[in-house]
Structure 1
């Protein structure tokens, strides 16, 4: 089963647009879209949403996300994973990474982990 991605609100909107265009079978949502957390939702609440709906969070938030994940796990919660985009890669390279990972990974492979792209 392919992974499902939730794009953090600070991620360039080109990511969900291009991933949907290149790989329409991959489920991708962005914070602020219908059925997702609203814009300005705090990170701990976004992690709860990801847990409830089984979405991997894609973000560029390197600084506070480790703290939020540690707190989340300490409260006996889990998250399918958090992927940190690489600012040294182009948007296209990050997108290709996300597509490959999304199609080739198994469910819970990245549970409770923060993964920094690239991994391929």
Structure 2
């Protein structure tokens, strides 16, 4: 299955617009989109949705996401991966790395992991 991204609702829609500009066949959803999760969904539910639907989560939630991932894994669950934006955010580098990941990553390369973008 190709890489698919679920963008956290706190990321600007510009991320999806630019990702699709660079790679039009990429599947990019944002929390709040029809058929996805509603805005305000709690992080543990987001992780379950990503697991069930095969999406890598892209978020700027550096503080609590590691805790939620640990709890998710302790329950015997899994996730295709979490990509957390580094500070300060360089949107150009983030977008370039997200496209690179989508084009070059192995299907399970980010499985059950938190990684940071830009990749550096």
Q: TM-score, normalised by structure 2?
A: 0.95
8 Å CA contact retained: 1:9, 1:30: yes
Structure 1 unmatched ranges of 5 or more: none
Are positions 1:79 and 2:116 aligned together?
Answer: no
Shift of residue 40, structure 1, vs aligned partner: 0.2
Find the residue that maps to 1:95 and give its secondary structure. Answer: helix
Shift of residue 88, structure 1, vs aligned partner: 2.4
Q: TM-score, normalised by structure 1?
A: 0.95
Are positions 1:118 and 2:118 aligned together?
Answer: yes
Structure 2 unmatched ranges of 5 or more: none
- CA distance in 2 between counterparts of 1:9 and 1:19 reads 16
Q: How does 1:1-120 map to 2 (within 5 A)?
A: 1-119=1-119
Q: Give the aligned CA root-mean-square deviation in angstroms.
A: 1.1
Q: Residue deviations 1:64-115, cap 9 Å, x none?
A: 0000000000111000000001232421111111000111011111111000
